[in-house]
Structure 1
Amino acid sequence: MTLYAAFLVAALALCVTPGPDMMFIVAMGGRGGPTAGVMAAFGGLVGGARQLRRRRLADRRGPRPVR
C-alpha cells in the first residue's frame, strides 16, 4: 500500500466517525429526550458561531505584536 493510499484510508476513517460534539448531542438526546438533543445541538451551533466571529475579528486586527 502506498503512502497516499494509507492517507486516503485514514482520512476516510476520520470523516465517517462522529466527533465529540455529535456524541454529546446523542447522549443528551438519549438521556433527556428530543428536546434536550435539539437544545444541545443549538448550543453547539451558537458556540461554533461565536468562535468563528471571534476569529474573524482577530484576523481583522492583524497579528499580535511579539513581546
Structure 2
Amino acid sequence: MKLLDDWPRLVRRAWSVRLAILSAGLSAVEFALPFVAPERPSGWFAGAAVVVSLAAAAARIVAQPRSLP
C-alpha cells in the first residue's frame, strides 16, 4: 500500500474522511451510551452512523475540488 503524496492535506480537507470520522464518533457514542446513561434509549446514534457512513461512501466517489483552502 502506498500513501498519496498529499495525504496530510487530504485527511484534513476531504469530505469522505470527515464523514468517516463523524461516523466513527457516532458509533463510539452508541457503544458508550448504555454504560454512561443506561436509562436512555439507544439506536439513534447507530442509525445516524449508518446514514453518515453511506454519505462518506458517496463523497468518496464524487469529485471534490482541487483548490481547497
Answer whether TM exceeds 0.5 for this pair: no
Q: Indicate the structure whose relative CO is greater, using CA pairs within 8 Å and at least 6 residues apart.
A: 2
Please state which structure has a larger fraction of its residues in helix.
1
Q: TM-score, normalised by structure 1?
A: 0.44
Q: TM-score, normalised by structure 2?
A: 0.43
